[in-house]
Amino acid sequence: MAHDPGTGAATQGVAVLAVDGPDSVVLWIPLGEAAASDWRARIAATNPAEAVDRWMEEADGVSCALVKLTPPGAPDLGGDAESLFEDFLEGRRAWALLAHDQATGAATLPVAVLAVAGPDSVVSWVPLEDVAAGDWRARVAGADPAEAVGRWVEEANGITWDLVELVPPGTPDLRGDAEALIDDLLAEAGS
């Protein structure tokens, strides 16, 4: 785990490290290099299998942390790392929040992305879509998005507003998922 400026602690997952005796496998969670750079340097400087116990003792919980996970028992280290990586991302869901688009006559204009994991949620708004996002802003402000998203999916009419489920990109946190999906939506709209 690396330092997350949003929480002020080492809560941002950056990699899954699987160790078995002298062997190790590292799977990096997709994110900007800045958050993972300290861990990349540590791992490049030594054999992770030899250093992991020392890193556990040195972790201060603010600049870095390690969380010990029970390996799922795959036939090889790579399988264990991949399974733990998938578990890290499990439970995350994301939706594009769509508003009425005058050009299409339907709810096809992305105004935000909602990312949800359990009771936690993050909304990232599309820049310069304040007018179109007005109804969505009111809806989000008046509810707990993690609880309300199921109802919203049922109530959406496809004309004035709608939601489309997206595949979370697997960044270390919900904010990263939401912002990465906003970037994808903007890039798609620009092409």
Is 127 in the same domain as 54? no
Is 78 in the same domain as 104? no
Query: Is the pLDDT at 163 greater than 80, yes or no?
Result: yes
CA 191 – CA 188 distance, rounded (Å): 5
Query: Is the pLDDT at 32 greater than 50, yes or no?
Result: no
Is 65 in the same domain as 106? no
Query: Is the pLDDT at 35 greater than 60, yes or no?
Result: yes
More confident residue, 13 or 100: 100
Q: What is the pLDDT of residues 107-148, one digit of tens each?
A: 988 999 998 887 788 899 888 777 788 888 888 888 888 888
Query: Is the pLDDT at 86 greater than 60, yes or no?
Result: yes
Is 105 in the same domain as 162? yes
Residue 31's pLDDT is 47
Name 120's bridge partners: 117
Which range among 44-53, 63-72, 80-89, 145-154 has the greatest average pLDDT?
145-154
Average pLDDT score, the chain: 79
Q: Are 2 and 17 in contact (CB under 8 A)?
A: no
Of 73, 89, 105, the residue at which a domain comes to its end is 89
Of 57, 89, 121, the residue at which a domain comes to its end is 89
CA 43 – CA 61 distance, rounded (Å): 18
Is 181 in the same domain as 142? yes
Q: What are phi and psi of 71, to 5 degrees?
A: -65, 145
Displacement of CA 42 from its chain's centroid (Å): 24
Residue ranges making up the domain that contains 85? 2-89
Domains of the chain: total? 2
CA 20 – CA 73 distance, rounded (Å): 11
